[in-house]
Structure 1
Amino acid sequence: MTNDVIIIGAGPAGLSAAITCAKHGMNVVVIDEYYKPGGRLLGQLYEEPDGSWWNGIKESDKLYNQAINSGVQLKLSVPVINIERQGTEWNVFTNMETLQANNLLVATGAAESPAPVPGWTLPGVMSVGAAQVMTNVQRVKPGEKGIIIGVNVLSAAIAQELKLANISVESMTLPKINSMNHDYAIPKNVVNSLLHVSHLSPSPIIKIGSNLMKYKLINKLALKFYPNKGIKMWDIPIQLKKAVTQIYGTDKVEGVTIANVDDYGQIIPKSEKSIEVDFVCISGGLYPLAELAAIAGCPFYMIEELGGYVPLHNERMETPLSGLFVAGNITGIEGAKVAAAQGTVAGLSIVNNTLNSAFEFELEEAIKQVRIIREENPIQFHPHIQNGRKKMQKYWNEYFANNQESFII
């Protein structure tokens, strides 16, 4: 049996697209390798700028219930192993069966970038995303006292979540600089990223001060006079002038060696000291999880402002391959709200293409909504996301200027 739509990924983008398609009478199947729907929504819990709380588990439950009530078929704990195009249909191969559909949406989200630190293979070392899932989804403490290596938007948001769960976080600090973490180990490169989560801080001083950081002189002075012991957010010191040089322990994490660094991330000799911890979280940021789109044959472009290699697409979430669509963090690292809005756009694009532009007005309105949500998004993973989107549109225009057919058949 050929389905109208197959969606790979049961996160906010995939579920929103599924709901949209199903409400317009389409037969929709959603596949996800995890045993619960929701994707990265499941671990999210943070305070909005207006003081309200964003609870990812509740949001994922809402989307799941809407999808089920709309007639969407969900296949969970089912990994996809291959995608092929045969004629006008997409074949999606899983470990259980092969499914066919006229339209395919890849909404696989994002993955965490590895950030190697000496000793990182010890039990008790994990990514910040793993700590988030353990704490907020599995309700299991990653440990009693830990440290976070890597100061960025993702780690700052998760540090707050660990604090809310009464988990002791000794500090957030930088990794020792190497060829793989250059952007994340230099204090002057890191300081600006924190401006995008300053609203999360309970300190009015930090909130007010962050508004002044857009001025270059103040920005430079702020780093120069940044205290060596760090500035506390949620009672967790954010140490931009210290770096972890080693994680140590015999059979598990027992502590870390930390040292002072200069403005360029270089270790200051004879400044090392040991800190006892029983778990370590490493954060190297996120990148689009786009392998399945690559298997499908979609062209890619490297756009740093979007987080890495991104499949070619337009604002309608179409790719150059007929019947193939993308949505969510696979198109660039943003957040759950943007992903959900993109999912709605992808769903309307599929409906519109199937029904010969019958929903063009609704589609254009949904695209406008994505732009509004992007501008108002309280957490910005990349400060120049708009530039990244403009680059993608430029590549899209250039691609079709060099290819006469509007879609690859």
Structure 2
Amino acid sequence: MNKAIIIGAGPAGLSAAITCAQKGLGVLILDEYMKPGGRLLGQLYEEPDGSWWNGVKESHNLYNQAIELGVQIQLHTSVNNIEKIDREWMVYTEKETIQTNHLLIATGAAESPVPVPGWTLPGVMSVGAAQVMTNVHRVKPGERGVIIGINVLSSAIAMELKLAEIDVACLTLPKMNELTLDAAHPKKVMNSLLHVSHMAPSPLVKFGSKFMKNEFMKNIGVTFYPKNGVKMWDIPIQLRKAVIEIYGDAQVEGVLLATVDKNGEVIKGSEERIAADFVCIAGGLYPLAELAAVAGCPFYLVEELGGYVPLHNDRMETTLDGLYVAGNITGIEGAKVAAAQGVTAGLSIAHHSGVEGVEAEITESIRAIEDKRDNAYIQFHPDVKKGKEIIQEKWGEYEKSANDFLFK
């Protein structure tokens, strides 16, 4: 039997595999990591109803369900290349070449690096690495750390580090340069934080954010933002300070911090040293889409989705027959949205595999994605719905041009 192949064992890939298996299809998942779950593994946060979202537990549940349904999962397996020969997709791994008529790419996202002087010192890591060390491997990245980069991801992970009784000295900006741009501009960072103010444990922060709805109030807010920051989870969020250097001899010993003006420019003479034994750099996430590019998918740069995303429709189909995408490769969102997209992709694969009676389920699953998106507790990009609309408009243009070509 020709099995559907899924690249990526995160929430999208596992959910798609479960859906395919429930429809009677054979499924093989390939993933380069040593555990299934993807970025789901590192997640741990309290939901609005007081319950806890535990990514490790959710991963175990999806994995066990997939195994019970007969899904094959190959971990420690990197995919080097994919190509289509005749009607089949060839998937090249280090061990073998596998063929399939239906291939789902659910490779997720990667972290964007932000260069900071001293970032090659031992003890400097991405914020996602600190999350995995703490939540997955139960190893502290250090005793006292500084997080460079203030965004949705770093705010959530700072809270998780605090839960693990790790001292986070502060969240602060990177120094303004040609690469950091918006991430080093206090007002633009404030704009992004307003979309996660509901996560703040401080009633004052939640209340104050309601007044930051127009440009005048935002300018006032940035101008008079406390130099020492506003505390959330007892961690100073410093919009008016930037790290200009990470220092240490054989390992991280601390950071050189400077006050910046409302435009992000360093105020000379304001430098101070903050002791720390580890530093996390948070540059945000971007879709990990190299395999879709190798396959020949057309791409569009959609900032609202986090970067370049392959053209696809709401059924998670690409322009290439038998190739599907789901999860953060289609735009940076949370695990619940990724899982919902995986269900839709699985149903689309079942439909194209000859399974009858799934059209109504596909329609319902698309609605479920929208529902998860509308009710997402953490939204990485506030204008993600606009980004999705842009991609669907591009899909409409693609379909029109394809039809025009057929009927010429």
TM-score range with shorter-chain normalisation?
over 0.9
1:353-409 CA-partner distances (Å, limit 9, x unpaired): 2226631100000000100110110111111101100110111111222223899xx
- DSSP 3-state at the match of 2:159: helix
Task: Identify the residue that residue 389 of structure 1 maps to in structure 2.
Answer: 388
C-alpha distance in 1, partners of 2:135/2:201? 21
Kindly state the Cα deviation for residue 98 of structure 1 after the two structures are TM-superposed.
Answer: 1.0
CA contact (8 A) 2:187 2:218 kept: no
Equivalent positions of 1:151-190 (< 5 A) are: 151-190=150-189
Q: Kindly tell me: are residues 405 and 361 of structure 1, through their superposed partners in 2, closer, same or farther at Cα, counting changes over 3 Å?
A: farther
C-alpha distance in 2, partners of 1:406/1:31? 37
1:248 aligns with 2:225: no
Task: Identify the residue that residue 35 of structure 1 maps to in structure 2.
Answer: 34
C-alpha distance in 1, partners of 2:323/2:383? 27
One-letter identity of the residue aligned with 2:270? S
Task: Identify the residue that residue 325 of structure 1 maps to in structure 2.
Answer: 324
CA contact (8 A) 1:287 1:308 kept: yes
CA contact (8 A) 1:122 1:251 kept: yes
Kindly state the Cα deviation for residue 4 of structure 1 after the two structures are TM-superposed.
Answer: 2.8
1:323-367 CA-partner distances (Å, limit 9, x unpaired): 000000000001100000000010011112222663110000000
Task: Identify the residue that residue 286 of structure 1 maps to in structure 2.
Answer: 285
Kindly state the Cα deviation for residue 52 of structure 1 after the two structures are TM-superposed.
Answer: 1.6
C-alpha distance in 2, partners of 1:222/1:50? 30
Q: TM-score, normalised by structure 1?
A: 0.97
Q: Which region of structure 1 is more displaced relative to structure 2, 192-201 or 46-55?
A: 192-201
1:116 aligns with 2:93: no
C-alpha distance in 2, partners of 1:295/1:103? 16
C-alpha distance in 2, partners of 1:353/1:253? 54
1:270 aligns with 2:265: no
One-letter identity of the residue aligned with 1:229? N
CA contact (8 A) 1:196 1:378 kept: no
Task: Identify the residue that residue 403 of structure 1 maps to in structure 2.
Answer: 402
CA contact (8 A) 2:23 2:355 kept: no
C-alpha distance in 1, partners of 2:323/2:101? 9
- DSSP 3-state at the match of 1:404: helix
C-alpha distance in 1, partners of 2:273/2:188? 26
CA contact (8 A) 1:49 1:199 kept: no
Equivalent positions of 1:66-77 (< 5 A) are: 66-77=65-76
CA contact (8 A) 1:147 1:277 kept: yes
1:87 aligns with 2:86: yes
Kindly state the Cα deviation for residue 82 of structure 1 after the two structures are TM-superposed.
Answer: 0.7
CA contact (8 A) 1:8 1:105 kept: yes
Task: Identify the residue that residue 7 of structure 1 maps to in structure 2.
Answer: 6
Q: Which region of structure 1 is more displaced relative to structure 2, 143-152 or 220-229?
A: 220-229
CA contact (8 A) 1:47 1:200 kept: no
1:205-229 CA-partner distances (Å, limit 9, x unpaired): 1122223322433333222221111
- DSSP 3-state at the match of 1:213: coil
- DSSP 3-state at the match of 1:199: helix
One-letter identity of the residue aligned with 1:157? A
Question: What 5-or-longer segments of structure 1 have no aligned partner?
Answer: none
Task: Identify the residue that residue 45 of structure 1 maps to in structure 2.
Answer: 44
Task: Identify the residue that residue 198 of structure 1 maps to in structure 2.
Answer: 197
- DSSP 3-state at the match of 2:83: strand
C-alpha distance in 2, partners of 1:199/1:387? 21
C-alpha distance in 1, partners of 2:348/2:183? 38
- DSSP 3-state at the match of 2:3: strand
1:24 aligns with 2:23: yes
CA contact (8 A) 2:148 2:282 kept: yes
C-alpha distance in 2, partners of 1:262/1:275? 20
One-letter identity of the residue aligned with 2:14? L
C-alpha distance in 1, partners of 2:345/2:132? 28
One-letter identity of the residue aligned with 1:98? T
One-letter identity of the residue aligned with 1:241? R
CA contact (8 A) 1:188 1:264 kept: yes
CA contact (8 A) 2:122 2:251 kept: yes
CA contact (8 A) 1:301 1:309 kept: yes
1:81-103 CA-partner distances (Å, limit 9, x unpaired): 01011111111010111111110
- DSSP 3-state at the match of 1:116: coil
Identity %: 64
Q: Which region of structure 1 is more displaced relative to structure 2, 197-206 or 263-272?
A: 197-206
C-alpha distance in 1, partners of 2:375/2:208? 20
CA contact (8 A) 1:108 1:329 kept: yes
1:236-276 CA-partner distances (Å, limit 9, x unpaired): 00000000000011111111100000111100011001111
CA contact (8 A) 1:44 1:54 kept: yes
- DSSP 3-state at the match of 2:101: strand
C-alpha distance in 1, partners of 2:211/2:55? 31
Task: Identify the residue that residue 105 of structure 1 maps to in structure 2.
Answer: 104
CA contact (8 A) 1:257 1:275 kept: yes
- DSSP 3-state at the match of 1:399: helix
One-letter identity of the residue aligned with 2:73? L
1:133 aligns with 2:132: yes
The ranges of structure 1 where at least 4 consecutive aligned residues each deviate by more than 3 angstroms after the TM superposition are 404-407
1:366 aligns with 2:383: no
CA contact (8 A) 1:316 1:349 kept: yes
Question: What 5-or-longer segments of structure 2 have no aligned partner?
Answer: none
1:190-217 CA-partner distances (Å, limit 9, x unpaired): 0021123222221111122223322433
C-alpha distance in 1, partners of 2:75/2:355? 32
Q: Which region of structure 1 is more displaced relative to structure 2, 315-324 or 204-213?
A: 204-213
C-alpha distance in 2, partners of 1:8/1:223? 44
CA contact (8 A) 1:3 1:29 kept: no
Q: How many residues align?
A: 406
C-alpha distance in 2, partners of 1:289/1:354? 27
C-alpha distance in 2, partners of 1:329/1:357? 29
C-alpha distance in 2, partners of 1:392/1:56? 29
One-letter identity of the residue aligned with 1:39? G
CA contact (8 A) 2:173 2:238 kept: yes
